[in-house]
Amino acid sequence: MLQVKNVEKYYGGKNNVTKALDRVSFDVEDGEFIAIMGASGSGKTTLLNCISTIDTVSAGCILLDGKDITELPSRELAKFRRERLGFVFQDFNLLDTLTIEENIGLTLALNHYNAAAVLDKVKETAGKLGISDILDKFPYQISGGQKQRAACSRAMVAGQSLLLADEPTGALDSKASKNLLEIMTQMNQSMGATILMVTHDAYSASYAKRVVFLKDGRIFNELLRGGRVRSVFYHEILAVLAALGGDVSDVI
Amino acid sequence: MTLFKLSLRNARRQARDYLVYFVSVVMAAALLYAFNGLVFSQEILNLSRRMAQMPSIIVLASIVVVCVFGWLVSYTTNFMLSRRSRELGTYILIGLENRQVARLFFLENLAVGGCALLSGLLVGNLLFQALRAIVLSLFGMPYGFSFTFSLPTVGLTAVYFVLIYLYALRRSRKRIKKMKIYDLIYFDRLNEGVVIQTGQKRRRLFTVSIVLGVAGTFLIMAGNFLLGILGAGSLIVCLYGFFPSFASSVPAFFDRHPARKYKGQNLLVFRTLAAKLATMGVLMATISMIFTATLISEGTGMVFHGTFAGRAAENACFDLYIGMEDTDRLRTEYADYIEKNIPVEKSLQYKVYCGENTQVMDYLNKNTSYYSYGYERDSVMRYSDYAALREIAGYPAVHLQPGQYLIHCMDYLEGVLKSYQQPLALGDDVLDWGGVYTEHMIQDDGLGNGVGFVLVVPDELAKDLPFHHLGYAAKTVHPVAEEQFYDLYDIHYEIHYKMDMQSDTYDTIYTKASEEADMAVMTAAIVFPLYFLALALTITAATILTVQQLSESERYKRQFEMLHKLGMDWREMAKALRWQFAIYYIMPAVPPVLIGLPFILNLAKMPEPGVMVGLNSPAAITGIAFGLFVLIYTLYILLAYTNLKRNVLPERGY
């Protein structure tokens, strides 16, 4: 579904160039749940921004269903994002002036979805993620976990094919994190959502089917969960993180 | 870093972040300086004896303006304090005392105020030059630009400014001294729980205010004074109900019409607006009231100006005119004075007669609004007198064909009288309509040349008509001085006194110079202060609206960044912002237009007919007042919009 090919990204001017991504290549299969891990400054958010077309690549290409999204003209970028990509951010990014129902429905409105059918569609998606009872609430009236589930609903309500999550559990307590990750797993397994999650939390990454490790802008390692139970996979991830060097406590 | 340096640095940042506010405070200083410049300008005061009344009126207006700007500075300072509470809390957290933070805040505001005052004095001087040029031109005096500062004016402006700032900063100082670190650091959480209130009571209030608004508008439009007051009252109640309850009504409306909610930009535009109004509903209503006051003072100023200008233009056609009843020649007292003091180039004593019937007056009463005070029949004048009067006034000669009569009328009757064209019977003779002339000829006074119109007939046909009054018109070698005018007026009172107060005769005296001076004095003493007030009010209300809007920049920026990531098209974002912006600014301006414009229109219809014509006609005045208001308001809107668009919308192209 997604092919990242030799992507490079440089920041800065002539005399002060920072290489954020260095020939990064990997594929994401349809229906896969993949985690990108790495310490702070390893380039994982830059990679996510390039995939989500919010940032441009300096070299290389990114293909989504065979189409190079780095070559898309600027007018088509917005259309591409709203139709194909769903976002879940660390700080939820829900509009505090809209109710949860409206926050979810907003994506459909942006996609010029039939206005009369928006409410039904929102209710249907919210039902799947267990947030039907908070649809009339405002973001400040609900918990962080509920906010993140609302963000997940927003990310998939318009039938987006790729869900990009940037540290989705970063602002949640352990119980809410576990709950969200189970929901994401459910979205991946029952609803067929393809998920690309950036995290530096090994526990969160252990929910993925595959983990790609970044170090200094390069792919350092890759772990496949295969048939292993999650707790075993979690310890394997910790082992790779230890091998990655740096401050392990920083990445756990 | 010392506290003083920190204050200066913060002051610079404040002036940059709140540029619109800073510009407004500069304008406040400029306005105060310019208008107070008139108070202390001997050159202006010496123009006329009657100018003596101007300083007290301007000082009175200044006091109101100081209160208005005091509110602006106090509101904005308080607002900035709320916005910066976390920063101020941090100062206390790292060891500064509340007292020191209060001093820091006081110093930086004083620095901003000081800079604004200095810049305002420079701009104010230019503005004063403009006012000076207008006043001098009204008196027909030559104008020369001079950039000199008047120390008393600078002093008075500084005193006003100190009052404004002391009032505002005393409040914030008290507030900071009482605040606890927690309150300051978590100030922004205070409002979290009450962003949107959806109570049923508020929704009912919304419905009631809409009903009151519609009813009020119809009552005002009815044109009746009492109904108008009732209508204005309804609209004021409507304002204070409408804005605070708007936020509750939006969700209720969307709940009933879910399909409309998700159509186009509706959701974003109205929800953001509702959230804003939820926290500033009462303020919005107050701003709306201020705009109403702005339109009313602006319109009233224009109506006054129109009235003075209209009357002056009509009555200033001769260098000297005296209208007298009960005498068939210029009274000796006047004649002696004129002979001794006023060199005359040309003069004429003539009679104005009463016609045989009221056929023209009847026609006018039937076809237009016309008052015939002082005349029971149509007024008539001999052609030879009319021709001489035209020559004295400097108008081109006209000829009366045998068997015809002419009509000389005020401008506003021209159209009606041109379609009159009826024959005029005088004794056994019948005259045909020979044309209409409309130059100014003192026709709005019972002792002038008819009221509204005079019929000009062949000399021989007028000799048997009853005499109405005597007119004396003169073209003088030099303009009649103000003192000479007052001398003539004193003579007039003496004559009246001699008549043992038995007669109700009052002579009419007009001089070109005195009429023009009257107009200039009235403009400086009444029209200027009203404009001064209108400007101060507009600046205050538009600034508060803009500061409120721009303070949301960060929140809007986050919102649009998120929408950008969700795939909202840049053009759609710009459109949503534009809509949001337009409704935010149009909403508080609609009620003032509904209240203010009918008020101005009715006020402009109050002076006697014929005075408010051309650019001073009621429709034109209402249009110009509205246009001026829109112009100043639009400047603020554009300033705020460009600023917001630049800061809020993500870069185009991604």
Whether the predicted pLDDT of B192 surpasses 50? no
Q: Which of A98, A102, A110 sits opposite B567 (nearest CB)?
A: A110
A95-104, A108-117, B431-440: which is most confident = B431-440
A167: left (phi over 0), alpha (psi -120 to 50) or beta: left
Closest alpha carbon within chain B to A80: B567
| Adjacency order of strands within the sheet including B344-354 | B424-426, B429-437, B404-409, B453-457, B379-382, B344-354, B467-476, B320-324, B508-511
Residue B505 has a pLDDT of 64
A residues 103-142 lying closer than 8 A (beta carbon) to B: 105-111, 113, 115-116, 118-119, 138, 140
Contact (Cβ atoms closer than 8 angstroms) between residue A171 and residue A222: no
**Pairing relationship of beta strands A33-37 and A210-215 according to DSSP bridges:** parallel
Contacts of B572 in chain A (CB under 8 A): 110
Tell which of B195, B279, B565 to mutate to test the A interface (max A CBs under 10 Å): B565
Q: What is the CA radius of gyration of chain A?
A: 18
Is the Cβ pair B567, A105 closer than 8 Å? Answer: no
The single-letter DSSP state of residue B526 is: I
- The answer to whether A83 faces chain B, any CB pair under 8 Å, is yes
Nearest-CA residue of chain B relative to A116? B259
* CB atoms B258 and A118 under 8 Å: yes
Q: Which of B196, B263, B566 is closest, CB to CB, to A115?
A: B263
Q: What values do phi and psi take at B511, rounded to 5?
A: -130, 150
Low-confidence winner among B156-170, B250-264, B531-545, B631-645 (lowest mean pLDDT): B250-264
Question: When comparing pLDDT for B375 and A234, which is higher?
Answer: A234
Test the B interface: residue of A110, A118, A137 with most B CBs within 10 Å: A110
Helix, coil or strand: residue B453 = strand
Triad A242, A245, A247: Cα angle to 5°: 85
Percentage of the residues of chain A whose pLDDT score is greater than 70: 96
User: Nearest Cβ partner of B562 from A93, A97, A119?
Assistant: A93
The answer to whether B573 faces chain A, any CB pair under 8 Å, is no
> Does position B145 have pLDDT exceeding 80, yes or no?
no
A140–B566 CB contact, under 8 Å: no
- With an 8 Å Cβ cutoff, is B568 touching chain A? yes
Mutation target to probe the B interface, by most B beta carbons within 10 A, among A69, A74, A88, A95 is: A95
Which candidate from A82, A118, A140 shows the least CB-CB separation from B192?
A: A140
> Can you tell me which residue has the tokens 């200094």?
A216
Comparing alpha-carbon positions, the chain B residue that sits nearest to A50 is: B654
Cβ-Cβ contacts under 8 Å, A154 against chain B: 566
The whole-angstrom separation of Cα A128 and Cα A135 is: 13
Chain B environment of A83 (Cβ under 8 Å): 567
Find chain B residues with C-beta within 8 A of A111's C-beta. Answer: 567
Q: Tell me if A138 and B262 make a contact (CB, 8 A cut-off).
A: no
* DSSP states along B407-444: EEE-GGGHHHHHTT---EEETTEEEEEEEEE-S--S-S
Tell me if residue B106 falls in helix, strand or coil.
helix
Q: Choose from A91-100, B172-181, B190-199 the range with maximum mean pLDDT.
A: A91-100
Kindly determine whether residue A97 and residue B565, on different chains, have CB atoms separated by under 8 Å: no
8 Å CB contact between B531 and B471: no
Q: Is the pLDDT of residue A248 over 60?
A: no
SS3 A158: coil
Residue B115 CA to residue A227 CA, distance in Å, equals 73
Residue of chain B whose Cα is closest to the Cα of A156: B566
Q: pLDDT tens digits for B497-528?
A: 777 655 566 789 999 888 888 888 888 888 88
Query: Which residues in B lie closer than 8 A to residue A157 (C-beta atoms)?
Result: none
First vs last C-alpha separation in chain A: 30
| Chain pair A-B, CB pairs under 8 angstroms | 88
DSSP B527: I
Pick the range with the lowest mean pLDDT from A168-172, B58-62, B80-84: B80-84
Across the range B74-96, mean pLDDT stands at: 82
* Interchain contact, B196 vs A118, CB within 8 Å: no
Mean pLDDT over B229-254 rounds to 83
Q: Is the pLDDT of residue B12 over 90?
A: no
> Residue A48's closest chain B neighbor by CA?
B565
pLDDT at A252 over 50: no
Cα distances (Å, whole numbers) of residue A225 to A207, A212, A234, B328, B589: 9, 11, 9, 123, 64
Phi, psi of A212 (to 5 degrees): -105, 130
**Is a pLDDT exceeding 80 seen at residue B620?**
yes
| pLDDT value at residue B197 | 54
- The pLDDT of residue B188: 58
Whether the model clears a pTM of 0.95, i.e. scores above it, the answer is no
Q: 3-class DSSP state for residue A63? A: strand
In chain B, where the domains are located? 1-190, 194-315+517-530+577-654, 320-478
Digit-coded pLDDT (tens) for A202-219: 999 999 999 999 988 888
> Using a CB-CB distance cutoff of 8 angstroms, which residues of chain B are in contact with residue A56?
654
- Give the nearest chain A residue to B276 (CA atoms): A97
Say whether A212 sits in a helix, a strand or coil.
strand
**Tens-digit pLDDT profile for residues B222-234:** 767 788 888 888 8
Q: B291-314: per-residue pLDDT in tens? A: 988 888 888 888 988 888 888 888
| B652, closest residue in chain A (CA to CA) | A74
B580 touches chain A (CB under 8 A): no
As beta bridge partners, residue A211 has A35, A223
Q: Do B654 and A98 touch (CB under 8 A)?
A: no
Q: What is the mean pLDDT of residues B479-508?
A: 81
Taking only Cα atoms into account, the Rg of chain B, rounded to an integer number of angstroms, comes to: 32
The 10s digit of each residue's pLDDT in A23-65 is 999 998 888 999 999 888 888 888 988 888 888 888 999 988 8
What does pLDDT average to over chain A?
Answer: 86
Cβ contacts of A137 on chain B, cutoff 8 Å: none
Query: What's the average model confidence in pLDDT over B619-633?
Result: 89
Nearest residue in B to A92, CA atom: B562
CA-based torsion, B558, B561, B565, B568: positive or negative: positive
B570 reaches A (C-beta below 8 A): yes
pLDDT at B353: 93
Q: Is the CB of B258 less than 8 angstroms away from the CB of A116?
A: yes
Contact of B195 with chain A, judged by CB distance below 8 Å, is answered with yes
Q: Using a CB-CB distance cutoff of 8 angstroms, which residues of chain A are in contact with residue B195? A: 96-97, 138, 140
User: Which residues in B lie closer than 8 A to residue A108 (C-beta atoms)?
Assistant: 262
For residues B457 and B107, the model is more confident at: B457
Put simply, whether A99 touches B (Cβ < 8 Å) is yes
Task: Select from A97, A109, A111 the Cβ nearest to the Cβ of B275.
Answer: A97
What domains lie within chain A, and their CATH numbers? 2-251 (3.40.50.300)
Q: Is B65 on the interface with A (CB under 8 A)?
A: no
Average pLDDT, chain B: 85
Contact A92/A151 with Cβ under 8 angstroms?
Answer: yes
Whether A10 and A19 have beta carbons less than 8 Å apart is answered as: yes
Chain A residues in contact with B653 (beta carbon < 8 A): 74
B558 vs A contacts (CB less than 8 Å): 93
Residue A210's DSSP bridge partners are: A34, A224
B653 touches chain A (CB under 8 A): yes
Evaluate if residue B481 carries a pLDDT over 80. Answer: yes
